[in-house]
Amino acid sequence: MYVTGAQWVLPGLYRDHFPLLHPDKDGKMVHYLDNSATTQKPEILIQATSFFYQNFNANVHRGVYGLAAQATQAYENVRAAVARFIKAPQAQEIIFTSGATESLNMVANWMGQALLKKGDEVIVSMMEHHANLVPWQQQCARSQAKMVAWLPNEKGELDLDRLQSLITKETRVIAVTHVSNVLGTVNPIREICALAHQHNILVVVDGSQAVAHIPVNVEDMDCDFYCFSAHKMFGPTGLGILYGKKDLLNQVTPFRFGGEMVDIVTFEESSFMPLPARLEAGTPNMAGVYGMGATLNFLKSVTYDAIYLAEQKLMHHMFQLLERMEGIKLLGQASERVPVFSLLFEDMHPGDVAQVLDQMNVAVRAGYHCAMPLHRYYQAGNGSLRVSLAFYNNQEDLEALEEGLKKARKLLVR
Binding ligand PLP (rule: CB under 6 A), the pick from 121, 157, 206, 311 is 206
Fill in the per-residue mask, 31 to 60: x = in contact with ligand PLP (CB under 6 A), - = not in contact: -----x------------------------
Closest to ligand PLP by CB, 167 vs 175, is 175
Q: Is 295 in the site for ligand PLP (CB under 6 A)?
A: no
CB 255 within 8 A of CB 106: yes
User: Using CB under 6 A, which of the segments 150-158, 201-209, 328-336, 372-380 binds ligand PLP?
Assistant: 201-209
Q: Is 208 in the site for ligand PLP (CB under 6 A)?
A: yes
At closest approach, how far in Å is the CB of 412 from ligand PLP? 27
CA atoms of 262 and 80, how far apart (whole Å):
22
HEC string of the chain equals CCCCCCCCCCCCCCHHHCHHHCCCCCCCCCEECECCCCCCCCHHHHHHHHHHHHHCCCCCCCCCCHHHHHHHHHHHHHHHHHHHHCCCCCHHHEEEECCHHHHHHHHHHHHHHHCCCCCCEEEEECCCCHHHCHHHHHHHHHHCCEEEEECCCCCCCCCHHHHHHHCCCCEEEEEEECECCCCCEECCHHHHHHHHHHCCCEEEEECCCCCCCCCCCHHHHCCCEEEEEHHHHCCCCCCEEEEECHHHHCCCCCCCCCCCCEEEECCCCEEECCCCHHHCCCCCCHHHHHHHHHHHHHHHHHCHHHHHHHHHHHHHHHHHHHHHCCCEEEECCCCCECCEEEEEECCCCHHHHHHHHHHCCEECEEECCCCHHHHHHCCCCCCEEEEECCCCCCHHHHHHHHHHHHHHHHHHCC
> How many residues make contact with ligand PLP (CB under 6 A)?
14
From 193, 223, 227, 370, active-site residue: 370
At closest approach, how far in Å is the CB of 116 from ligand PLP? 21
Fill in the per-residue mask, 110 to 149: x = in contact with ligand PLP (CB under 6 A), - = not in contact: -------------------x-xx-----------------
Closest to ligand PLP by CB, 135 vs 293, is 135
Fill in the per-residue mask, 225 to 264: x = in contact with ligand PLP (CB under 6 A), - = not in contact: ----x-----------------------------------
Closest to ligand PLP by CB, 212 vs 261, is 212
Fill in the per-residue mask, 79 to 108: x = in contact with ligand PLP (CB under 6 A), - = not in contact: --------------------xxx-------
Closest to ligand PLP by CB, 132 vs 171, is 132
At closest approach, how far in Å is the CB of 182 from ligand PLP? 9
Binding ligand PLP (rule: CB under 6 A), the pick from 35, 72, 143, 177 is 177
Binding ligand PLP (rule: CB under 6 A), the pick from 40, 92, 171, 209 is 209
Closest to ligand PLP by CB, 182 vs 405, is 182
- Is 193 tagged catalytic? no
Q: Is 285 in the site for ligand PLP (CB under 6 A)?
A: no
* Interacting positions 331-370 with ligand PLP (CB under 6 A): 370
State the virtual CA torsion across 69, 72, 73, 77 in degrees, nearest 10.
Answer: 180
Q: Is 181 in the site for ligand PLP (CB under 6 A)?
A: yes
At closest approach, how far in Å is the CB of 168 from ligand PLP? 26
CB 127 within 8 A of CB 158: yes
At closest approach, how far in Å is the CB of 228 from ligand PLP? 8
Region of residue 16 (left: phi > 0; alpha: psi -120 to 50; beta: else) = alpha
Q: Is 205 in the site for ligand PLP (CB under 6 A)?
A: no
CB 60 within 8 A of CB 286: yes
User: Using CB under 6 A, which of the segments 203-211, 247-255, 280-288, 298-306 binds ligand PLP?
Assistant: 203-211
At closest approach, how far in Å is the CB of 320 from ligand PLP? 26
Edge-to-edge strand list for the sheet holding 340-345: 328-331, 340-345, 384-388, 365-367
Residues with a catalytic annotation lie at 370
- Residues of this chain that interact with ligand PLP (CB under 6 A) are 36, 99-101, 129, 131-132, 177, 181, 206, 208-209, 229, 370
